[in-house]
Structure 1
Amino acid sequence: MGCSFEVKRSTFEQALFGIQNVAQKRTATPILANVRIDASNNELHLFATDYDIGLQQRLEATVDQVGSAALPARVLYDIVKKSKGDSIRIEIDDNHQGVVKTGVRARYKLVGMNPVDFPEPSRIQPETSLKLDRDMFRLWIKKTLFAASSDESRVSLAGVFLEAYDGNNLRFVATDTHRLGLVEVQGIEGCSIVPEDGIIFPRKALQELQRICDGEGEVQVTIDTPSVQVEWDDTVFVFRTVDGRFPNYRTVIPESTSRVVVIDRQEFMQAIDRVSLVVTDRFKCVTLAFENNILTIMANNPDMGEGEEQIDCTYDGDRLEIGFNAQYIQESLSEITTDKIELRLIDDVSPTLIYGENDESYLNVIMPMRI
């Protein structure tokens, strides 16, 4: 059975943006390259899934004929995005063929599929959920996800670990074993829904979530292992958690350090950026030398040349030279918002801690490189 409806173009485009990202581009199951559209009661329900991630969107529309359709998600999004006019009209016949009318004189025909073959949307009926500020939720993910492993074969590291501690507190943690990002959030109601051993949110799901979870307000996070549901406004985002155990990250965080360096964050970032001009994938190390309140930043690349800069810092210990992956330092500093940062060090082979000055809630750990 076909359907027909008219919808505001800008609203439809915004909904399809997330939908077409979730829909499979290349798949052995062709139906998953489509968006399922259910039209009834002057509203549309859009759904896309790749089995690991599912996205449901609800939006208002003028529905002339109630029914369902499955249309190619990416092509439909591109048509809507590039079309003129304020509204989009779509008519689906009984053979699942769709006609898309945009503006006054534009008309496109799309080959659809039988929506009956589309997987049914899954939804968790929450008994208890985490209610989180939307802006802060995105920020906590951003401050940790960059440190997750990009090696998909290491599934337990290719995401962000969430655990509850001391009652109403949460930790977001990510690591690729060379570096680590950790955010602590206190005073969150509903933390008891987080499994005792924690839970791993996969990289892909969080990247999609970052793209579409915009605006202000709350998100409602519900956990029913192995599924997690994040809901806001007229959007429901469901994904499967990583099946694996997150490593004991606490073992790489030194309980105490013997040296503390305080540096202007912006000046440090800019100096690292300039010295890194001679850094390549083959020679990616920068050396930091601390002595007499001066930080010397050095890079040496036999294939290209060398760079050196000095900036002021607060440090009165013995001279210390330590090497780091330049990219790891830059990415860590870019997620800290305080004017100054603290490097807490032991020696040139032990993990180094990076904090924003007077901010214990966000920690970065970087393993040194051999100089």
Structure 2
Amino acid sequence: MKFVIEKTVLVKGVSKIQGITNRKTDFPITASVLIRTHGMNVSVYATDLETGFEGFYSADVETEGQVAVLSKKLFEIIKDFPSDFVQLEAVEGKMLKISAADNVTKAEYHILCTNTDDFTILTNIEDMVFYELDALTLKDMIDKTLVTGIPDDERAHLIGLYLEILEDEKNIIRMVATDGHRLIKVDRTYEISMNIPMKTGVILSKKGMTDLLKLLEAGGQVEIGFRENNFIAKKDEETIVSRLLEGDFPDYNEVIPEEIETRLKVSKQSFVALLKRMLILTNDRFRAIVFHLNSDKLEVTATNPEIGDSKEEIPIDYNGNSFEVAFNPRFFIDSINEIKSELIVMKIANEKEPCVFFGEEDPDYISVIMPMTV
């Protein structure tokens, strides 16, 4: 195998697999990238056996073939390579020679090859039916739900995002995520019915969706589909295949409180700034801050015997009774950072019920946070 490719093109492809190949697994091949020639194109493929990525890129191919090398080492070499065009050549199937394609730059690297036979393709996407979505809309939904984090837990509802297509309700695509202490729900409407054959929702891997974000960031349209218990997203010449998670996702409608008449409105900028200051006095043992709700002001206090205490007030528009309730401020900050509206609307019934909040101009992105006991 021997070909010449533009450095920025190769870097673009190899950079998108770093999240996949840098994960710890029991299989050494998951740290490698498989590079293959296809006529006048070169493909870059990697998998952690749960998520796979393949991209096709234009190249000047002299001899065809394939080679596998450590993904991280290849990326570190090519990202700052001193030539705009890079030549890759397999040497007796044991080494990959990386050199400058021009006759001026003197730069040459050799890295050991790994076994190409160990690679498995997660699923075949030929003859698949795909459905188009706006890439930035899908990216925004994933960004918003991923604030719940990826815990060290094997339960599907904690390490996954729940995806639903609600054709009967104004063509809504919905994502829901939880970490057991909070729940995020995002709805977006698409204009044309996609008729995706989904009788129930599916659970997408949070890790796989993290990898998908790199595919979506340039905007445009993305095609999505399902096959053999896999979620597939295809954009231009790049494809992500992510295995669906098995398990039950809790009924999120039971977590979200029914209509609450008590509402509080507060400036997003003032509120998040206050929360960040309060966060200074929290740690792993003392995470809670206390909201003291009154008709025209919100008093927030933090007490940490290991550090100190604090108290602040900000003006609010509130139509309920006075009471106190404790929350983890980090959960509010995570969600508010994804809200574009200038005003935050919070619905709190009492000190025992969850708090529901959203941006005034985007009620289809809601966060539900459980209160804490102090």
Give the TM-score normalised by structure 2.
0.93
Secondary structure of 2:148's match?
coil
Question: What is the aligned partner in structure 1 of residue 296 from structure 2?
Answer: 293
Identity %: 27
> Residue type of the partner of 1:112?
C
User: Following the alignment from structure 1 to structure 2, what is the Cα–Cα distance between the partners of residues 298 and 130?
Assistant: 49
Q: Give the aligned partner of residue 184 of structure 1.
A: 187
Check whether the contact 1:163–1:170 (CA below 8 A) recurs between aligned residues.
yes
**Which one of the candidate residues 326, 337, 343 is aligned to 1:334?**
337
Does the aligned pair in 1 maintain the 2:13–2:55 contact within 8 Å? yes
Q: 1:192: Cα distance to partner?
A: 3.5
Alpha carbons of structure 1 residues 120 and 259: separation in structure 2 relative to 1, 3 Å: closer
User: How far did 1:148 drift?
Assistant: 5.1
> What is the CA-CA distance between 1:45 and the residue it aligns to?
1.0
Q: Which moved further from structure 2: 164-173 or 8-17?
A: 164-173
**Corresponding position of 2:136:** 135
State yes or no: 1:349 paired with 2:352: yes
Structural mapping, 1:115-264, within 5 Å? 115-120=116-121, 122-125=123-126, 127-147=128-148, 150-167=151-168, 168-187=171-190, 189=192, 191-193=194-196, 195-264=198-267
Name the stretch that deviates more: 273-282 or 304-313: 273-282
SS at match of 1:98: strand
Structure 1 window deviating more from structure 2 (162-171 vs 276-285): it is: 162-171
CA RMSD of aligned residues (A): 1.9
1:123-169 CA distance string (max 9 Å, x none): 32455333111111110011112125513222222121001224322
**1:270-309 pair list within 5 angstroms:** 270-309=273-312
* Structure 1 length-normalised TM: 0.94
Structure 2 runs not aligned, ≥5 long: none
* d(CA) in 2 for partners of 1:151, 1:297: 32
Structure 2 CA distance for partners of 1:116 and 1:5, relative to 1, 3 Å:
same
Are 1:179 and 1:328, in contact at CA under 8 Å, matched by a contact in 2? yes
> CA separation in 1, counterparts of 2:258 and 2:348?
11
| CA distance in 1 between partners of 2:194 and 2:148 (Å) | 24
Tell whether the 8 Å contact from 1:70 to 1:96 is kept in structure 2 after alignment: no
Would you say 1:75 and 2:76 are equivalent positions?
no
Task: Report SS of the residue matched to 1:278.
Answer: coil
Paired with 2:154 and 2:288, the residues of 1 have a C-alpha distance of: 26
* Structure 2 CA distance for aligned equivalents of residues 336 and 27 of structure 1: 35
> Deviation at 1:93?
2.7
Q: CA deviation at 1:289?
A: 1.1
Q: Is the 8 A contact 2:268 2:344 kept in 1?
A: yes
Structure 1 unaligned residues grouped into runs of 5+: none
Deviates more, 1:227-236 or 1:94-103: 94-103
Counterpart residue identity of residue 171, structure 1: R
Letter of the structure 2 residue corresponding to residue 135 of structure 1:
L
User: Cα gap change, 1:157/1:190 in structure 2, threshold over 3 Å: closer, same or farther?
Assistant: farther
Q: Distance in 2 between matches of 1:60 and 1:42?
A: 6
Mean Cα deviation higher: 282-291 or 186-195:
186-195
Tell me, what secondary structure is at the counterpart of 1:142? Answer: helix
Partner of residue 88, structure 1: 86
Aligned to 2:271, the other structure's residue is in SS state helix
Q: Does 1:315 align with 2:313?
A: no
Distance 1:130 1:148, change over 3 A: farther
